[in-house]
Amino acid sequence: MNLTEEVRLYGLIGDPVAGSRSPWIHNTVFNELGLKAAYLAFHVEPTRLGASIAGFRAIGMGGFNITIPHKQTVIGHLDGLDPFAEKLGAVNTVAVTPEGLIGYNTDGPGLVSVLRRQIGPIEDKKVLILGAGGAARGIAGSLMYNGVKEVGICNRTWTKADALIRDLEIFGKAHIVDREDFKNYDLVINTTSVGMYPFEDATPVDVKYLKPDAYVCDIVYKPRRTRLIREAEATGHKVVFGIDMLIEQAVLAEQIWFSLSDEQVDRARTLLQTELMKALQPTEGEKK
């Protein structure tokens, strides 16, 4: 990358940020598309969030991402919010505009965009979400915001599922679902970390409990083909990979920061598919 004076800075703030794939993902796309931009990760503790945002304004950052634990607290430092981020009360992407700093959320919308492209309309789907953590919240909120027929939630810790359902009331009514009722759902999304490397032998649900023609999506992306995805494919379910959500939430952020053409968006997606597939292979050390 040629770091001339024309290059604008983009970045991620979080605590921690070590291990984040965002710098690699965004710099890979910036290079491919010839954008005059560079992306860095900034470790910002909660007490320094306001000062960091003030600094970002002062130096004219191009835009930035926000991760845990700042997704909610950053809102008080922004000048405006997109309607979905406002309703969810969480921001992961900030655009620097003539009107000031505007917050967006691309986590759930990233998966919704993937689902629309891969399985078609979602408005007629009853969706079962396994898990009730941070990812479940953004995904359930975005699905409800986009008008899915029903959202059911099943989580190991019942009280967390109950708390999530109360949190989601602003979007509508979600329900707690027991295993006997899994067969009522057209799309099942695993948002738990079960099956994630290095616990690849684990699965959050036996596919025999699912509707035979349900779509099965696992947002775990390492390994790409989790045990849940393998078993779903073996029993004839159509599947959606977590890696596509990872790519799409980054591409949506770039669409917010730059006016990318459809051709540029397709190039970014294709490149990230290839490069992430290589990057997510277990290293020699991990194989041992």
Of 38-46, 117-125, 217-225, 268-276, which part binds ligand NAP (CB under 6 A)?
Answer: 217-225
Q: Output the smallest distance, CB 106 to ligand NAP, in A.
A: 10
Give the nearer residue to ligand NAP in terms of CB position, either 113 or 192. 192
For residue 172, the 8-state DSSP code is -
User: Is residue 160 involved in binding ligand NAP (CB under 6 A)?
Assistant: yes
**For residue 188, which of 174, 207, 163, 161 has the smallest C-alpha distance?**
207
Rounded-to-integer distance, Cα 41 and Cα 10, Å = 9
Question: Binding string, 119-158, against ligand NAP, x = CB under 6 A?
Answer: ------------xxxxxx------------------xxx-
126 is catalytic: no
Among 67, 92, 93, 191, binds ligand NAP (CB under 6 A): 191
Asked if 162 and 136 touch (Cβ cutoff 8 Å), the reply is no
Q: Output the smallest distance, CB 182 to ligand NAP, in A.
A: 15
Asked if 232 and 44 touch (Cβ cutoff 8 Å), the reply is no
Q: Output the smallest distance, CB 131 to ligand NAP, in A.
A: 4
Q: Output the smallest distance, CB 57 to ligand NAP, in A.
A: 28
Q: Tokens for 285, please give them.
A: 């050390």
User: Is residue 245 involved in binding ligand NAP (CB under 6 A)?
Assistant: yes
Give the nearer residue to ligand NAP in terms of CB position, either 81 or 154. 154
Q: Output the smallest distance, CB 245 to ligand NAP, in A.
A: 4
Rounded-to-integer distance, Cα 75 and Cα 90, Å = 7
147-162 CB burial, b ≥16 within 10 A, e <16? ebebbbbbbeeeeebe
Give the nearer residue to ligand NAP in terms of CB position, either 148 or 251. 251
Q: Which residues contact 194 (CB under 8 A, 6 or more apart)?
A: 202, 203, 204, 220
Q: Using a CB cutoff of 8 Å and minimum separation of 24, what contacts does 223-229 make? A: 223/197, 223/280, 223/282, 224/277, 224/280, 226/190, 226/195, 226/196, 226/200, 227/195, 227/200, 227/201, 227/202, 227/203, 228/190, 228/195, 228/203, 228/204
Give the nearer residue to ligand NAP in terms of CB position, either 101 or 140. 140
Give the nearer residue to ligand NAP in terms of CB position, either 101 or 108. 108
Among 193, 200, 230, 233, binds ligand NAP (CB under 6 A): 193
Q: One of 36, 71, 125, 211 is an active-site residue; which one?
A: 71
Q: Tokens for 14, please give them.
A: 């979080």
Q: Segment 247-276, which members bind ligand NAP (CB under 6 A)?
A: 249
Q: Output the smallest distance, CB 156 to ligand NAP, in A.
A: 3
DSSP 80-109: EE-HHHHHHT--SEEEEETTEEEEE--HHH
Give the nearer residue to ligand NAP in terms of CB position, either 101 or 216. 216
User: Is residue 69 involved in binding ligand NAP (CB under 6 A)?
Assistant: no
Q: How many other C-beta atoms are found inside a 10 Å radius of the C-beta of residue 29? A: 27
Residues annotated as catalytic are: 71
List residues near ligand NAP by CB under 6 A: 131-136, 155-157, 160, 191-194, 196, 219-221, 242, 245-246, 249
